[in-house]
Amino acid sequence: MKQLKRASTSGIATAVLGFLIVITPIILPVCEGLLELASGKQVPMRCHWTARAEMLLGVLIFIIGLMITFLKNPQERRRLHHLVAMLGAATILTPIFIIPTCMNPDMACNLATKPALIILGGVVLLVGMAGSRTPSMPSSESTE
């Protein structure tokens, strides 16, 4: 029973962190400007796409957190925690390397959104790693 409660708590924490990642670019908005290309076409700044990618990662983390909360099989929960850890790493790497934010360090995306996403991604990574390390209960097949 204690094992199930721990898994549920970790699943809820994961879901809450996923939700926070989704709303971070809304609460701490990224740059709203458009860039004009040499062709004259205007496109959103890089940080716009960073925010969209992070919101997608947050939705995935949220859904997996709900799955962890309601799954009863400890092995499946451990596997999902591995996935959560990888998504946490992706959350950290996205604004730094995958889709970097603006080059100007004084822009809103670099002052608030990027640090918040890196911190949230780090916490998600730690929760995923901790959940994947929880000892699993022996299955009924191994006791026969």
Query: What is the amino acid identity at position 125?
Result: L
Whole-Å CA distances, 75 to 29, 59, 64, 113, 139: 38, 23, 14, 35, 9
Q: Which carries the bigger pLDDT value, residue 138 or residue 99?
A: 99
Domain definitions of the chain by residue range: 2-132
pLDDT digits (tens, 9 = 90+) for 60-116: 999 999 999 999 899 999 999 999 999 999 999 999 999 999 888 999 899 999 999
1 pLDDT band, cuts 50/70/90, is: low
28: burial class by Cβ within 10 Å (0-12, 13-18, 19+)? middle
